Structure 1
Amino acid sequence: MTAAIRIAPTRAARALNLLRTVQYAHPPSCPCHSNPSHQHHHPSLLPSTLKHARRLATPVDVSQQKEYAFEMAASSIRFGPGCTKEVGMDFRNMGAKKVMVVTDKTVRKLDAMKQVVEGLEREGIPFEVFDGVRVEPKDTSVREAIDVAKPYQPDAFLAVGGGSVIDTAKLMNLYTCFPDADFLDFVNAPLGKGNPITKPLKPLIAVPTTAGTGSETTGTAIFDLVSKRAKTGIAHRNLKPTLGICDPLNTRTMPSAVHASSGLDVLCHSLESWTAIPYHERVPRPNNPINRPAYQGANPISDIFSLQSLRSTVQYLPRAVKDPDDHEAQSQMLLAATLAGVGFGNAGVHLCHGMSYPISGQNPGYKHAGYEVDSPIIPHGVSVAVTAPAVFRFTGASNPERHLAAAECFGVDVSQVKRESAGEVLSEALAEFLVKLGDQPRGLKYLGFTKDHVDALVEGTIPQKRVLMLAPSLESTDVEAEREQLRSLFEEALEY
């Protein structure tokens, strides 16, 4: 008994000393403890400290605090040749009674739609087909699609097509579930109100027929806002498809030009998400998890998807473009697009995409070869890749190691490259890759833009805050400095 009495205080003292050592040698990373202004107080506060405690309880302004967490979200993915035929069973399994099938007039004639229709009919699932989706959708075409979906009141959606189709289906789903919402309520700020989506939407199954956007995995939908002459969109994880059915057989009908431009989108998705600012550098920290943006900055999980997608794209895109019968390359590009979708759908993209939106929206009349459309069109992948050599030369100094790792994916020996040359090396590797791919405009001037267009392109980029906030090296606190940097980038991108 006496020995026990002597030992107990000794153990208590040791434990107390150990706790003090841990506290000061390794400050806790929990925001409740590492942040001195966090609203968290221990019950052991003495009466003499209550006044101080009340001062600490004042609400904290999180608008200038950096993020401390990231979330990973992605659709469930089914990958395999021939799996499109299972879609009817999927809707039967979820108890769907009324399905809205969304596609475009070109895809409606393809085998992917035949498989979908046969699958739904085989399972006795009632459905209607909307095939009025516009390639590179505008807000007007999206509103027309929404007006079709609202009176039908489907209990599930099925998108069969490329990114334009899947994005349009996401928006049909959203505004059918929020029938009284104004169109701009959910559109990304500052062009719209940027309201969060506060409830789950109807089930949406996406069947991609192109290997590019990765839209089957993301909570993002992009369109042209005609009145502002700029691309924008809506981004929230509740927009994500319930299931992405990635069937390599469905991409075999893609023309070579579509393989190329879709693949360039994958290339930039992976490069931009790999080089985006780290998630813990993003400001502001959300005051509620529902406000945490879909695009959060690079994080340890998105990095895995982004880098693997980049490696696969460099290896397989030239093969897929060159040989329409190279089914292995086509299949690997569909997988790369999906991997990139998980990566950028959580980490985000930055300058190539931010600058691409006014490039598409302010098209001076360019019509890309290989696209069966009547009106001028700059395919999305072309609009993002055309600035890439200039962009990654500019961002290189922000994180030389990442830019050199990206250059290695293009086959560059970086063992003797100095860190300060990282951006230049990656830029040159990118330019060489684009030139060898063939039939790609080697700068904005090949799309019809001149130096006289640069100011308008800059002004069309400034509102893209959702992606510019993730751009490394860009001056985000001084609008005039940001304008000057963007002006220089557009001028450099006129030709590479």
Structure 2
Amino acid sequence: MSRRTLDLMRAMAGVQKRCPAHQATPMSTGSCSHAKEYAFEMACSNIRYGPGVTQELGQDLANMNAKNVCVITDKNLEKLPPMKAALDSLHANKITYQLFSDVSVEPTDHSIRKAIDFARKGQFDVFVAVGGGSVIDTAKAANLYLSHPEAEFLDFVNAPIGKGKPVRNTLKPLIAVPTTAGTGSETTGVAIFDYEPLKAKTGIANRALKPTLAIVDPLHVKHMPERVAAHSGFDVLCHALESFTAIPFNERGPKPADPILRPAYQGSNPISDVWARHAFALLRKFFKRNVFDCEDFEARSAMHLASCYAGIGFGNAGVHLCHGMSYPISGLVKKFVAKDYESSEKPIIPHGLAVVMTSPAVFSFTAPACPDRHIEAVQLLGGRDTRNIKAADAGAVLADVLREYMSQMKIENGLSALGYGKADVDDLVKGTLPQERVTKLAPRSHVERDLANIFENSMTVY
């Protein structure tokens, strides 16, 4: 290829007017030296879906020749039908197991350490997680540290809180049986928890953590209370919307010196976009029905799939500001206890609620970076005719769509309703700063003042 041709290709790329996330992957010029990333990697758990499919769990474990299984759940689920179905299958197939049910609703470093100690003492050869994101994330961490017996707790925790070391050893098989329709944790290599010494959320992100198999049984989400269904659904919505609007993978940099260092969250990419769009379609049709009618099996089943779809998308593309800013919202909670979470032993702002609170302000802020993406989301989520929406109005229109969803689902009116005021903004910003792993994926660059403005604009929503 001639130098003149290369120069022409670069000049044409430089005058592209469309959002970078819509562009096709650029043609390689043959150079091996890239300041920015040039590739993305798709990773996802195997997924088995179907009503009643949990009955196959014991057969899966027998096929794995499992000798000593660690089953992880929480105290509430321990008494509910999903856990009974799982254990009945294990008993029917004569599987030897030990049960760990001391999982926190929102995991902490303390609760995660307890699971790690249990796993190391048991020396298990397979893990099974039956529960929502908290349970599945706890199982991922227990598996990771069992497989790295010399590792200290902060070795794999995301920087800057932890050391963010790459995972070198092979983990044990993990089968995830999700019982909520929200986190998508059954498909991803991410485990999130509260790091109590800093009152901040952090986590571990590595493809090696993703479950070997996700058994997605829609019978289990029949048992979600209304508020759990609402908050989980908004987690799905923000997973899809943040991954869809994240910085394009080939705009992130620098490229890793070694493929093992390529992060799990890579930026928007053509494959993740497919799953985000599918999630939008299901949210638009089934979200509200799923929240207010637990007997609407079609809606609850569809949202269970939407959670998987969005999980595949964000598990590879990543999330950005809504999630990064949600972590201090949850971590700095004062007295608020969400309805349907009264069994919690301490104040709690559920993850999905914390995530959606800033969404209208966030997407108003990010829209100038890629307005066409935001307008497409308006069309897919809101079913509106978007042909006459101007680029300058993209953020405001998408914010209106999000407020409409929040109002329909009876979400509290902003951070002030959760116990925060303007005096808390500085602490909320400080709690967001360590979340650079996700906030750097926002399509628009930002500084502390921008974050403060978003928090201030989220004190009330309606």
Query: Are positions 1:424 and 2:424 aligned together?
Result: no
C-alpha RMSD of matched pairs (Å): 1.5
Structure 1 residue aligned with 2:162: 192
Encode CA deviations 1:104-156: one digit per residue, 9 max, x unaligned: 01111111111111111111110011111110011001101111111110000
Query: Are positions 1:129 and 2:106 aligned together?
Result: no
Structure 2 residue aligned with 1:58: none
Q: Provide closer, same or farther for how the CA distance between residues 366 and 24 of structure 1 changes in structure 2, counting only shifts above 3 A.
A: closer
Query: Are positions 1:447 and 2:418 aligned together?
Result: yes
Structure 1 residue aligned with 2:357: 386
Cα separation, 2, equivalents of 1:422 and 1:23: 35
TM-score where L is the length of structure 1: 0.87
- Check the 8 A contact 1:66/1:285 in 2, yes or no: yes
Q: Provide closer, same or farther for how the CA distance between residues 212 and 19 of structure 1 changes in structure 2, counting only shifts above 3 A.
A: same
Query: Are positions 1:314 and 2:279 aligned together?
Result: no
Query: Which of 437, 441, 452 lines up with 1:487 in the alignment?
Result: 452
Gaps of 5+ in 1: 1-17, 39-61, 476-481
Matched residue pairs, number?
A: 444
Encode CA deviations 1:241-299: one digit per residue, 9 max, x unaligned: 00000000011011111111111100100000000000001012100000000000000
Cα separation, 1, equivalents of 2:156 and 2:339: 35
Query: Are positions 1:414 and 2:386 aligned together?
Result: yes
Structure 2 residue aligned with 1:34: 31
Gaps of 5+ in 2: 11-25
Q: Provide closer, same or farther for how the CA distance between residues 23 and 373 of structure 1 changes in structure 2, counting only shifts above 3 A.
A: closer
Cα separation, 1, equivalents of 2:442 and 2:2: 41
Q: Which moved more, 1:365-374 or 1:89-98?
A: 365-374
Structure 1 residue aligned with 2:138: 168
Cα separation, 2, equivalents of 1:325 and 1:430: 26
Letter in 2 for 1:484: R
Query: Are positions 1:333 and 2:303 aligned together?
Result: yes
- Check the 8 A contact 2:247/2:267 in 1, yes or no: yes
Letter in 2 for 1:395: T
Cα separation, 2, equivalents of 1:271 and 1:390: 14
TM-score where L is the length of structure 2: 0.94
Query: Which of 115, 129, 132 lines up with 1:159 in the alignment?
Result: 129
- Check the 8 A contact 1:474/1:485 in 2, yes or no: no
Structure 1 residue aligned with 2:318: 348
- 1:23 positional shift: 6.6
Query: Are positions 1:375 and 2:357 aligned together?
Result: no
- Check the 8 A contact 1:412/1:429 in 2, yes or no: no
Structure 2 residue aligned with 1:284: 254
Structure 1 residue aligned with 2:202: 232
Cα separation, 2, equivalents of 1:244 and 1:448: 37
Cα separation, 2, equivalents of 1:139 and 1:452: 28
Q: Which moved more, 1:204-213 or 1:406-415?
A: 406-415
- 1:19 positional shift: 7.7
SS in 2 for 1:34: coil
- Check the 8 A contact 2:282/2:303 in 1, yes or no: yes
Encode CA deviations 1:160-187: one digit per residue, 9 max, x unaligned: 0000000000000011111111100000
Cα separation, 2, equivalents of 1:297 and 1:244: 24
- Check the 8 A contact 1:103/1:165 in 2, yes or no: yes
Structure 2 residue aligned with 1:56: none
- 1:415 positional shift: 1.3
Structure 2 residue aligned with 1:434: 406
Q: Which protein has the larger Cα radius of gyration, Structure 1 or Structure 2? A: 1
Cα separation, 1, equivalents of 2:356 and 2:3: 54
- Check the 8 A contact 1:350/1:467 in 2, yes or no: yes
- Report % sequence identity: 53
Using CA pairs under 8 Å that are at least 6 residues apart, name the structure with larger relative contact order, 1 or 2: 2
